[in-house]
Amino acid sequence: MRRSLIMGNWKLNGSLSMLAEFITSLSDQIDALKMCDIAIAPPAVYLHEAKRQLKNDRISLAAQNVDFNTGGAFTGELSPQMLKEVGAKYVIIGHSERRSYHQETNEGIAKKFALLKETGLIPVLCIGESETENAQGLTQTICAKQLDAILAKCGPDAFKNSVIAYEPIWAIGTGKAATASEAQKVHAFIRQHVSKGKDEIAETVIIQYGGSVNASNADEFFAEKDIDGALVGGASLKVNDFLKIAQSAVAAKTF
């Protein structure tokens, strides 16, 4: 059985005091969450301090972005090796906010994916369609195009020990979420598309849902067979809300 992964993406939020309080509260409850994996992605400046404070290896760290260069004259960028050194296990790439605000392309994201795999970090590849594309019935077409850039560069085996986060753009930070059944259909398509007939990949690749996941709707999503946890945005900024989402994932795996 695949383990669920609940990851909190703090985006441009947080402080040292918030980090300390969050880690303390999460550490106190982690033993009750044995059926799922937990990770937080604070801003990169806090990763080293988070690593220092974490005493429990059940809580992993994630970075919110990475450059596709390993070093050189690239002001403001961070390499995979740097992120690994300060404690990151996972790295989020392809988030719609980066695709939109920073004009990131499928090809550039594929370079990041490949470099993360070479460095021994786990990519969390975000994919998803806009509201207009959804209304036009293009969800699968858009997701396939984003996945195909990775497949073309790395092949299907690259999705072993990797994470995909389906985040419909129209649901991110809007309070609107896809229904659980809608999300399940997309997740099933993603699983089939990346595996290319290889059962080992289909059975093991973790596919999270993201987009206005909260403590009130998490149960519905985690009841679906192809939804393996969540990439949580706003609801990850309050530790009690984040814990409730994780508890929902545990309950879904133990019924």
- The answer to whether residue 94 scores a pLDDT higher than 90 is yes
Which tokens is 227 given?
């939804």
The stretch 227-255 carries a mean pLDDT of: 93
The stretch 245-254 carries a mean pLDDT of: 90
Question: Tell me: the pLDDT tens digits for 192-208?
Answer: 999 998 999 999 999 99
Instruction: Identify whether the C-beta of residue 158 lies closer than 8 Å to the C-beta of residue 116.
Output: no
Q: What angle do CA 15, 177, 59 make, to 5 degrees?
A: 40
Active-site residue, selected from the candidate residues 95, 97, 104, 224: 95
What CATH number did the domain enclosing 106 receive?
Answer: 3.20.20.70
Q: Is 95 a catalytic residue?
A: yes
Assign 56 a pLDDT band (cuts: 50, 70, 90): confident
Question: Tell me: the pLDDT tens digits for 123-151?
Answer: 999 999 999 999 999 999 999 999 999 99
Q: pTM of the prediction?
A: 0.96
Overall domain count for the chain: 1
Question: What's the sign of the alpha-carbon dihedral 56, 126, 192, 221?
Answer: positive
Question: Tell me: the pLDDT tens digits for 154-173?
Answer: 999 999 999 999 999 988 87
Would you state the pLDDT for residue 173? 75
Would you state the pLDDT for residue 98? 97
Position 25: which residue type? S
The stretch 55-67 carries a mean pLDDT of: 96
11 is in an annotated binding site: yes
Residue 126, H or E segment: strand 122-127
Q: What is the mean pLDDT of the chain?
A: 95
Containing structural domain, residue 52: 4-254
The stretch 61-86 carries a mean pLDDT of: 98
Assign 212 a pLDDT band (cuts: 50, 70, 90): confident
Q: Tally Cβ neighbours within 10 Å of residue 136.
A: 12
Which tokens is 21 given?
């309080």
In the block, residue with structure tokens 């009750």: 32
170 is in an annotated binding site: no
* Residue 67 to residue 116: CA distance in whole angstroms: 10
13 is in an annotated binding site: no
89 is in an annotated binding site: no
Active-site residue, selected from the candidate residues 104, 167, 187, 224: 167
Would you state the pLDDT for residue 224? 97
SS3 of residue 218 by DSSP:
helix
Would you state the pLDDT for residue 254? 62
- The answer to whether residue 255 scores a pLDDT higher than 60 is no
Instruction: Identify whether the C-beta of residue 106 lies closer than 8 Å to the C-beta of residue 96.
Output: no
Backbone angles phi, psi at 92, to 5 degrees: -75, 130
Q: Are strands 163-166 and 206-210 parallel, antiparallel or unpaired?
A: parallel
Closest CA to 45 of 71, 18, 83, 80: 83
